[in-house]
Structure formats: C-alpha cells, structure tokens
Structure 1
C-alpha cells in the first residue's frame, strides 16, 4: 500500500547510506526526465548506474506504477502502448533511448524476463539509464508523487530480504 508522502519534504535520512543514494539519485533522475532536462539527466543516471541494486528498486517502482495504471492487468497491446509512449516521449530530448532496454525493464517488472533467453541482455548501467524514463512516463498517468512509489518499493525490497 502506498503512503502519502509529500514530494517536497520527503527526506531519505532514515535509510541506510546505499539506499539513501539510490533514493536521492533516482529522485534527481526522475525529476530531470519529467522536465526533459538532458543536462540534469545525464549525471543523475550515471550516479544511479553506480548505485548497487538501483535496478531492483526502480523495477519495483515500475511494477507498482504498472499495477496502478492497469489494475486489470496488461496484455501485449498495453505493453506495446507503454513502450511506444515512453520512446516517443523520451526520444526528442534523450536520443540514446533504447526500446529494447525499456522492453526488458517492462518484462522484468512484470516478472516475465529471463536474461538467459536474451542474446544481448542490457547491463545494469543501461537499466539505470532507462528506468527513470519509464518511471517518469508512467507517473504522468497516475499523477501521484514519485516518493510514494519509491517508498513502497523500498518497503517491498526490505520485506523480501527479511523473508529470504
């Protein structure tokens, strides 16, 4: 369940340093993506790519956004629409957008991606450079603050780790 965090006052001081780095850099990257600011986006996603487990957390955010935006589930047409919308939205200001990486992100968030089946799986840095694009695009549909989804994704990762 998502909390109702205020995006302006949300701080991540309560998180351990590695998680705080993910939260801060992901917030910077998603903010830059929403503003279509390539100058701010590039350094933010490079910092995000260096943060261990950022892809896991952002994958959780993508899954939560997809679940909220498609409460009855997604079919192939829905996935294609999400992918096409994200590429169309990002390409004018971020020409390095790679539809294959976005598709891997979507499939991973839906739990249907097996890297062993992919001849050329994207590396974690590519995932980190693309996840904020997808998150920003999906946030436009929900209209809710990124901090809510990020907090819920961190909670989910913590619960999973606790039970493993």
Structure 2
C-alpha cells in the first residue's frame, strides 16, 4: 500500500515524499537512488525535526523499558555496519548526535556544533531504515505519528 500524503500541507507533503524516498532507498541499499533523495530531503524545511520524531518513536517501540548506553551502542554499530558497504560516507558521530537528539539528551558543547541539515538528511534515513528492520511496521505509520507530534507541539507553543 502506498500513502499519498495528499491531506498534508505542501511543506509537510514534501517532507513525507522525500523522506519516504530516502528511507526506501536506504532499505534497498541503493546509493544511486539515495543520493538524490537525501539532497531533496536536505532542502525540505524542518525535515530533521520530523525524522527526529520518527527515530524517537522507533526507539521507544523497540526499547519499551528504555535505552541504556549498551542499547545506544548496539543501534549505532548495527546501523553503521549495515550502511557502510553501500554508503561509505556514513559518519558514526552524526548518527550518535541524531540518536542523542531524538532521545532529548544532546547538548552541544562549545566545540561541538550540531550537524547541518544536509548531514542530518544523509544520516537520518539510514537510522530510520535500520530501526524499521527491528519493528517491522511501515514507515508511514511512524511518519504520520511524528507529524502529529510536531503539530501538537506547535499548537502548545
């Protein structure tokens, strides 16, 4: 089943379509499809926020009792090992920052600037694809939930 995302406003629809393309390419380990998908994703305003929500939801579902340092290390190692053969530009540090950010524990120090939107776009789909392999549920379910959380947060701010 394919989700059309027609019900979303244009900016959110662009995030949904490009994120889906990027995650699908990551799941297929298709670097030729992944490169243009993540370039489009990097241009989509707030895509990192939405994908961070997806990562958090996936982590919560995959680790209902919470995550400890070993769990984070296992997720990071599994993701890097899965991505490196077909996407050699994978950066473990960026993945770690994305994990920490999704968990709400990332605090950039004076010497550690957060990854730019292009780095987030190149790495978040790798992390999502890896975590989806654990849950087995469709990406669209998590993406829809993440959009809902972003909308709720914006209403309360």
> TM-score w.r.t. structure 1 length?
0.93
Q: Secondary structure at the match of 2:109?
A: helix
1:107 paired with 2:94, answer: no
**1:118–1:59: structure 2 CA closer, same or farther, 3 Å change rule?**
farther
Could you list the runs of 5+ residues in structure 1 that have no partner in the other structure? 1-7
Alignment root-mean-square deviation, CA:
0.9
Aligned counterpart in structure 2 of residue 78 of structure 1, from 71, 86, 93:
71
Deviation at 1:140, TM superposition (A): 0.2
- Structure 2: which 5+ residue stretches go unaligned? none
Deviations 1:17-68 (A, max 9, x none): 1000000000000000000000000000000000000000000000000000
How far is the alpha carbon of 1:108 from its aligned partner? 0.2
What CA distance in whole angstroms lies between the structure 2 residues aligned with 1:37 and 1:117?
A: 37
SS at match of 1:117: coil
Alignment coverage as a number of residue pairs: 157
> Paired residue for 1:19, among 4, 12, 26?
12
TM-score for the superposition, normalised by structure 2: 0.97
Would the alpha carbon gap of residues 61 and 91 (structure 1) be closer, same or farther in structure 2, given more than 3 Å must change?
same
Deviation track 1:96-145 (CA, whole Å, cap 9, x = no partner) reads: 00000000000000000023455243111101110000000000000000
Point out 4+ residue stretches in structure 1 off by more than 4 angstroms.
Answer: none
